[in-house]
Amino acid sequence: MPPSFFPQTVIAVVWDFDKTLIPGYMQEPLFRRFGVEGFAADGKSGFWDEVRGLAAFYKKRGLEIVSTDALYLGHILTYVREGRFPGLTNRMLREMGAELAFYDGVPAIFESLKARPSALGLAGPPHNITVEHYVVSTGLRQMVLGSAIAPYLEGVWACEFVEAVAPPGYLSSEPAVEGDQPIAQVGYSIDNTTKTRAIFEINKGVNVNPQIDVNSRMAPEDRRVPMQNMVYVADGPSDVPVFSVVHGSGGRTYAVYQPGSDADFDQARLLLEDGRVHAFGEANYSEGTQSAMWLRHSVDEIAKRIARERNDALAVVLGKPPQHIA
């Protein structure tokens, strides 16, 4: 029987971003830079107010099917074209990512969870267990990559913009690209449902081996990060598809709520009552908090199970050694 393609000793902690790692939405630095209101006092003229009305606006004009999760990306591009976000580039978005303020305990929780296999004596041979962090977000990838947590991440699935657009005939005479250009098209988008695709890409190891296609048939024992080796952390009902996939496949799921918010608390509580998550707590990851302790214990339990299963498998392979007959 051929050996497994991957040793399956990776624990993946997968994070949502907005309202999970930061108190609000990551686009706030963008709005501040260009003097745009996110939510306006009149409930009509703010950027997010307009986004909420776009589906009805377009349907009145004959569009029958609207991708509501991706509408805000097109509206950002409209703001660029109309001069509300003049000259906005991917480099600027990455720079603005450095302005994001995180919940207490971030990014320290990333480092402390990565250190858990070493603390348990499982980071070296024979098990070589590691912890990896990923962000899967409907937000902007360049802002995440410019933020304080970027050095701790093995991968980021989020939305991307294209600056230099390929014109007709580009295959025969590729145009020269001179410096940064304003963003002009959506290059990659992810919504609350397609987040599950990112989970399966992590599961199969697409991010470390481009030869693997997420739709390829792959036996469970050959996947890089089994679902039971995953922990998914997010804030709300929009994450139900991923909660369902990870929870239903043996992984760990955890909901967070904004400290002091009754509405967010109820939202997280309902996720627990509906069986979507294993536990929930405040979005405070400082040492000794409910969230930090739950994450640490979950990573520890997964690491110990991996080591135990590997020891059991080794015992089966080796069998009982021969002995002298008395």
Side by side, which strands form the sheet with 185-188?
185-188, 153-162, 130-140, 10-15, 230-234, 252-257, 279-282
233 neighbors 15 (Cβ within 8 angstroms) = yes
Sign of CA dihedral 225, 190, 17, 247: negative
Q: What is the pLDDT of residues 40-57, one digit of tens each?
A: 988 788 999 999 999 999
Torsion of CA 125, 127, 128, 130, to 10 degrees: -160
Burial per residue of 5-42, b for 16 or more beta-carbon CB atoms within 10 angstroms, e otherwise: bbebbbbbbbbbbbbbbbbebbbbbbbeebebebeeee
Q: Which domains does the chain have, with CATH numbers?
A: 10-24+103-318 (3.40.50.1000)
pLDDT at 3 over 70: no
Q: What is the mean pLDDT of the chain?
A: 93
Q: What is the pLDDT of residues 49-99, one digit of tens each?
A: 999 999 999 999 999 998 888 899 999 999 999 999 999 999 999 999 999
Q: pLDDT > 90: what percent of the chain?
A: 78
**pTM exceeding the 0.75 threshold for the entire prediction:** yes
Peptide bond into 237 cis (omega under 30): no
pLDDT band of residue 4 (cuts 50, 70, 90) is low
